């Protein structure tokens, strides 16, 4: 997994690419916690993520919890079918703020 990190207005956007699994999710987790530790609102652009496993979901859930504790905004965007199905099956699609595109967050 590779990822890009950029600032867009009030948000930091982390845009992972590829699969987020047991081997790559710790890197994503560190980046999420680092951004939130700096007091930034955070968006995860999932448009180029083709697969997530339970460790990836755990990293995202921890990020959402940390954001709430710190009073920061946290959202997901651009979910492909496989990650969307995982979130749906775990009912986390009702927990995470999700929009179709990153621009939908930035224009709000």
Distance, C-alpha 6 to centroid of its chain: 13
| Measured CA angle at 91 (ends 93, 71), to 5 deg | 55
Which range marks the domain in which residue 63 is found?
Answer: 2-102
Domains held by the chain: number: 1
Is 97 contained in some domain? yes
Which pLDDT belongs to residue 22? Answer: 96
Question: What CATH number corresponds to the domain at position 74?
Answer: 3.30.750.24
Backbone torsions φ then ψ of 107, nearest 5 degrees: -85, -10
Which pLDDT belongs to residue 108? Answer: 78
Is 108 contained in some domain? no
Which pLDDT belongs to residue 13? Answer: 98
Bridging pattern class, strands 74-77 and 48-52: unpaired
Is 49 contained in some domain? yes
Which pLDDT belongs to residue 1? Answer: 82
Residue-wise pLDDT for 42-101, tens only, equals 999 999 999 999 999 999 999 999 999 999 999 999 999 999 999 999 999 999 999 999
Is 107 contained in some domain? no
Is 84 contained in some domain? yes
The model scores a pTM over 0.75: yes
Spatial contact of 60 and 76, defined as CB atoms under 8 Å apart = yes
């Amino acid at each position: 997994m590779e990822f890009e990190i950029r600032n867009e207005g009030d948000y930091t956007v982390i845009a992972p690419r590829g699969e987020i699994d047991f081997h790559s999710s710790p890197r994503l987790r560190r980046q999420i916690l680092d951004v939130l530790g700096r007091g930034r609102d955070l968006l995860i652009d999932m448009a180029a993520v083709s697969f997530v496993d339970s460790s990836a979901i755990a990293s995202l859930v921890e990020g959402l919890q940390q954001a709430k504790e710190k009073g920061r905004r946290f959202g997901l965007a651009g979910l492909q079918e496989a990650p969307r199905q995982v979130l749906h099956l775990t009912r986390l699609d009702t927990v995470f703020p999700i929009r179709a595109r990153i621009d939908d967050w930035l224009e709000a």
